[in-house]
Structures are given as C-alpha cells and as structure tokens.
A and B are shown apart, each in its own frame.
Chain A
Amino acid sequence: MTLRLRLAIFTSAFIALILSAVAVSVYLMTERSLGAAVEERAQQALADLSGGAIATGLQRLPGDAYYQIVLVETAPARPRDVAGIRNGVDYTQPVSVRANPTGDSLLALLPDRALEDLIQQDELAGYVTLANEERLRVLGALGTIAFPNQQVALTAVILVGLPTSNLQLTLDQLAQDLGLTVVVAFLAFAFGVWWLARQVLAPVQRVTQAASRVSSLDLERRVPVPRTDDELRALALSINHMLDRLQESFETQRRFTADASHELRTPVTAIVGHAQYLLRRTNPGAEQVDSLRVIQREAERMAKLVHDLLELARADAGFQVQREPMNLVEVLEAVRDDLGPLAAPAAIAVDCARPLLEVDGDPSRLKQVVLNLVQNALDAGARSVSLHLEGDGKEVRLEVLDDGPGIPTEALPHLFDRFYRVDGARSSRGNGSGLGLAIVRWIVQQHGGAVDVRSRAGEGTVFTVTLPASEARAAT
C-alpha cells in the first residue's frame, strides 16, 4: 500500500470516527432536550388540572394535549385495585373543553403496571399509542379536582397526554441530516487528504524517480533539489551527497583498473617480444626452447588477462560499443577458421542455412563472444563444438553446443560472475582468467541481447545467445 493511500485512509477513518461521535452526541442531546420540554409541559398541564379549579386548568391546557379525568370515589376513600380505577366514573366528557379526537380512553390504553404505580405512589408516567398511531407521553396523578362554584372537591385520576410524534419526526429528520452531513464531510475530507497527500508526496516521487534513474552506469545524474527549505530538500541533498561519494569511488576504482592494465601492457609486450625474438631468431637448445615457450605462453596469458580486465573496466565505466550492420555468419566462420587448426582433433562445425544473418554489432567484440564460448568448451574437454545459427526478422539465435563434461547445476547461477571457475580457483585446466563469460555477458547486453546456458553433467553444454536482428534490414 502506498504511503499516499495509507495517509488518506487513516486520516479519513479518524475524521469519520470524530464526525460520527459528534453526530451521535448532537442527536442524543437534542433528543434529551426535546424530551425534557415535552415532559415539562405535561407536568405543567397535570399541575394545572389537579391543583386548582378544573375550569381554569382545562383552559390552560396546551392545544395538542389529551386529558382524561376519572372520578374514582368520593374522598377520602381510595380505590385499592386497578379495576376499581378503570371502573370509576369518567368525568372527562361533561366538562371537556376539548374532546380527545380519537375518543380513546387513556386509562384503557395504559398498562396495568402504570396504574399500580398510581395506586402506590399517587402518580404515573408512561407512553400510550392511540388507534391513529399517535404516540403520547402520559402523566397521571391521583388528585383532587375542585369545582369552586359548587364548593365541591372530588378525588379523581387525572391523566394528561402530550403527543411525541412531532418530536420523533424532528429527531428522525435530524438523524437523516446528520448522517448526510457526516457522509459528505467524510467524502470531502477523504478527497482533500488524497489530493493533499499527492501534493506533499509529489516531490518525494520526483526524488524517487530521479534516484532510480541513477544506476552504476549513469552516476552523473543527480536528484533535483527542491527550492523549499524543508525535509525533502534535506533528503535530496543527502542523496546527492551519497551519489557524489559513490561516483568518486567508482571513478577511482575504474581509473585504477584502467591505469593498471595500461601499465601492465608495456612489460608484457616486452616479455613476449623478447621471448619470441629468442625463439625465432636465435638457436636456443631444446631445454631453452621449452623454457622460452613457457615464458611466452605465460606472458600471453597475462596479456589476455590484462585485455579482459581492461574490457571490464570499460564496461564499468559505461563504455558503449560501436555498432554497424554486419554478418554474424562470417564471425562464426572466422572463429572456426582461427581455432579449428589449434583445436584438432576436436572439431568445430558451423551450422547455418543461410550465408547472411545480419545484426547491428561490433564485429570484433561479437567475435570475442564466440571465441570465448568456443574456447571455454574446448578447455573443458569437448571433442566437438557446434555453432548453430538461425534467425527470423526479429532476432538472431546463436547456440554453441558442446559434448564436454557439462557444468554442475549449482555452478550455473555463478557462471557469468567475474573470476568464477567451475572447478575451483586452483584449477590448472585451460588458461582462462575466469573473466571470459563476464565479458561475453557484457558484450551481449551491450548489443541488446541475452545469453543463457543449459547443461547436463556428462552430456554437454549449450550456450544460447540471442541478439536483435539488424534494424536496417529487418524487413528482408
């Protein structure tokens, strides 16, 4: 998961949590205060009805209130059971200033438990739902209703109901509004964070891209340093500083290899030259000839090593080979003709159906590739090496097959490493430096190709080199 995504998700989740908490508490607080208002009005109405003159109480009753007054017994007697209350004389109708619209009896709708509260505590509180689905908050008390004109006060159950449906409607609306607000705010915030994260991370992205373009071949590049004086600037500066150091050490290493190789060439040339002179122009004795040949052979081996090291130093320095259209078939024939006489009795065969397979390449370096592969096969003890070449319009495939002892599977992954030797560093077989295949791989890669190896112990080895076909004549 990208940092940007994580940032957006986490901050959005956090903000969603906070928004939800705020919304819920707003809802609960509103519910409570609305409920308290209803409760207060109901209390007031109940007090009005049961406190003083009934007529005044009824006049002060809120417009949306329901009420019921049931005379239960003349004072001071008291009904002792719920049924007694239920069967009292309903006094509501005769004095009603406002009929219950549905004609429902609040007393009938109240549960027995509420009435028992009334009996025990002289008051009750509860909810009832009318036939028209209207929900009421009902408060009731066992009180006295007074008729000042008649000079009478009677014991009665007084019930007052106030509708809570409006309250519920308001709350539902509030919940809906809050929910919508939360969702919209959340989306806006998430989008904002996503955008902000992009703005903030864009310089990081640029630094990353620039850094990834810097490779061992291209240490010249530097990461762009933002002008802002912030953490990203510090990051870019320290990456660049690191690259400076890296480039410096690469350069030192490369120059050392190149200089060392150049310096080694001169003495090697002198050694080979003098050994050859003695062998060719003087008449050394048989033992001296042997000795001179050793000097010559070893000096030539050293010359090859110097050449290989220099070639790899070039590779490390990012040297690019010069490419021109050329015929790969001729390269194979040249290798066969060069190595054939030396390899006898081992046989080198070129197998290609066509006289021409063109690639864009450096002829001498591609010859080096084939030479190294064939020489390796011969050094390993192959009796026959077959060079198989084929190509279509897109790529050219060269296979170097040998019937040598094969390469152990565990050695295959290291085969193209520098100074790697299949049979250990102390091997005396062949005079390879252990650099041949590293050079092969470098050259092939420089040509936009790939080299691969398959081998089976006891049966032989196949090196496969694929190169892109020449662009100039890809159509033919």
Chain B
Amino acid sequence: MERRPLILIVEDEKEIAKFVDLELQAESYDTVVTYDGVTGLSKFRELNPDLVVLDLMLPVLDGLEVARRIRKTSNTPIIILTAKDSVDDKVTGLDSGADDYLVKPFSIEELLARVRAHLRRVNPAVTGEVRVADLVMNLDGREVFRDGRRIELSAKEFELLELFARNPGKVFNRFEIEEKVWPEYTGGSNVVDVYVGYLRRKLEGEGERRLIHTVRGVGYVLREE
C-alpha cells in the first residue's frame, strides 16, 4: 500500500491545531502537530513531511522565519495560516518561500482543497490536470500553478487559459475564442485582447517566460518557446 502523506502542523493556537489535525486525519493523512516554531523546524528536519501547515504568529521562532529556513533545504509545499490579511503580509509570506496563504477564519474545505492541490503538484496525479511547461492547471479544483506558485484567476480567465492549455500549439483567432468563452455576447469587442493581457500579467508577474503568444494577424497561441 502506498504510504500516506505526512503533514506537519505548526500552530500555537491549540484549538485550531486540534480541528485541523482532526480534519486532515479524517482525510487519511498522517499528521504531526507542534505548537512552536523551533519544535516545528526540528520535527520538519526529523520527519521530512510532504506538506507543512504553518501559522505565522508563533512563539520562539515566527512562521516567516520557519518558512525561510525550510525553504533553504527543501521544496516541501508550505501553506501559511494567519490572522493578518493585508497585501503586504501576503507578499512577505509568499516571499519567505510559502506556497500558499489562507487567512483566518478560513473554511476547512478550502484548506483541504489547497492541501490536495499542493500534494498533487508534488506527486503528479493522473486525472483532472493539464500541464504545459511549468504551468499546472488543476481543472477540478480550478487552480493554477506556475513553477509551484499558486495563481488566482477569475472564472473567465480560467476558462480562457483552459482553452489554450488543452490545445497547446493551436492558434486560436479572436472570433473562435469569443464564441467559446463568451458565448452569451455577440462579437465586436476587444474582450479577448484584454483578457490575454490579464492572463499575461498574472502568469508572468514574477518575470517568468511568456506562454501565450500573439500570432500577428491571426490570434493567440499557448506554447513553450
């Protein structure tokens, strides 16, 4: 039998750690719970878990520092839980090496979905997933990763990217795209160009290589160059 994924929970709020632990166990993961940053880090080194659920405000060693130290030696997905939700906090969290970020109060389904998505990314699953170059689209969870970085897309952006990702190398003209993604509207707007712009901004936000290319006079294509 395949080994059950091991998840390390580092959370000083015992009541929260408790139900996260219970839920993860109910989803058939093995779990280890620690209540401070230093213990969390040493448990990580000792057990080498498949994923870490990390609170930001921890005694002894704070969550950001834990994430930074884990990231020095390992690519293990880290999901941060925090009560802070300002943009700066998010950026700091992700810069420290965390892969994802959930703000309290979070819904447990959301956490479980993210855990599934990140584990799948590490252990390529079979179904419901499209991969092109370093782009991973999880069609069931409607999640998109580029090089491990989770990217939030709106519904239409996701549909458009899905159209491209399912047909890499195929050139679509604007009319085709409009018909498929915006069937309820008649053509004549520049919605496709605008949305390609949105997608590029989000997919290449960290200086990654271009994925969606313009084919002059025809339309757009997704391919690796």
Once the chains bind, are A355 and B15 in contact (CB under 8 Å)?
Answer: no
A32 within 8 A of B: no
Q: Find chain A residues with CB under 8 A from B105 CB.
A: 265, 268-269, 272, 300, 303, 306
Report 10 cross-chain contacts, Cβ distance below 8 Å, ordered by A residue: A265-B105, A277-B23, A303-B105, A306-B105, A327-B191, A327-B195, A327-B198, A355-B182, A355-B184, A356-B194
Whether the pair A330, B194 counts as a contact (CB closer than 8 A) is no
| Set of chain B residues within 8 Å of A268, measured between Cβ atoms | 104-105
Q: Are A337 and B155 in contact (CB under 8 A)?
A: yes
Known: A333-B155, A356-B194. A281 touches B26 (CB 8 A): yes
Contact A266 B194 (CB under 8 A): no
B174-201 CB mask vs A (1 if < 8 Å, else 0) is 0000100010110001110011011001
Task: Report whether B16 and A476 are in contact in the complex, using a CB–CB cutoff of 8 Å.
Answer: no
**Nearest residue in B to A306 (C-beta to C-beta)?**
B105
Q: Tell me whether A356 and B189 are in contact (CB under 8 A).
A: yes
Chain A 287-314 near chain B by CB (<8 Å), digits 1 or 0: 0000000000000100100100010001
User: Do the beta carbons of B84 and A262 come within 8 Å of each other?
Assistant: yes
Contact (Cβ within 8 A) B194 A354? no
Cβ A330 vs Cβ B155 within 8 A: yes
Check: B60 CB closer than 8 A to any chain A CB: no
Q: How far is the CA of A476 from the CA of B191 in the complex (A)?
A: 11
Least Cβ–Cβ distance between A97 and chain B, in angstroms: 116
Main DSSP-derived SS at the A contact region = helix
For the complex, is A208 an interface residue (Cβ under 8 Å from B)?
Answer: no
- For B15, give its contact among A262, A270, A325 (CB under 8 Å): A270
Contact of A273 among B16, B184, B194 (CB under 8 A): B16
Report Cα–Cα, A449/B195, bound state, in Å.
Answer: 24
Give A322's nearest chain B residue, CB to CB.
B87
Cβ contacts A312-336/B at 8 Å (1 or 0 each):
0010000100101111001001100
Give B201's nearest chain A residue, CB to CB: A324
Cα–Cα distance between A274 and B19 once the two chains are bound (Å): 6
* Count of interface residues, chain A, beta-carbon cutoff 8 Å: 36
A269→B106 contact, CB < 8 A: yes
Interface-central residue, A269, A272, A476, by most chain B CB under 10 Å: A269
- Given contacts A262-B83, A355-B182, A355-B185, whether A330 and B19 have CB atoms under 8 Å apart is no
Contact A267 B15 (CB under 8 A): yes
Number of chain B residues whose Cβ lies closer than 8 Å to a Cβ of chain A: 34
* Residues of A contacting B194 in the complex (Cβ-Cβ under 8 angstroms): 325, 327, 356, 358, 473
Distance in Å from the Cβ of A310 to the closest Cβ of chain B? 8
- How near does chain A come to B19, taking the closest CB pair, in angstroms? 4
User: Nearest-CB distance from B20 to chain A (Å)?
Assistant: 7
Which residues of the other chain, A, contact B104 by a CB distance below 8 angstroms? 265-266, 268-269
Q: How far is the CA of A326 from the CA of B202 in the complex (A)?
A: 12
B156 at the interface (CB under 8 A from A): yes
**A303's closest neighbor in chain B, by CB?**
B105
Per-residue B-contact encoding for A128-158, CB less than 8 Å = 1, 0 else: 0000000000000000000000000000000
A321 to B83, CA, bound (A): 19
Say yes or no: B19 contacts A277, CB within 8 Å: yes
4 tightest A-B CB contacts, nearest first: A270-B15, A273-B19, A269-B105, A356-B191
Interface: A276 (CB within 8 A): yes
With the chains together, A273 CA to B178 CA distance in Å?
Answer: 42
What separation, in Å, do the CA atoms of A333 and B104 have in the docked complex? 26
Contact residues in B for A330 (Cβ distance below 8 Å): 154-156
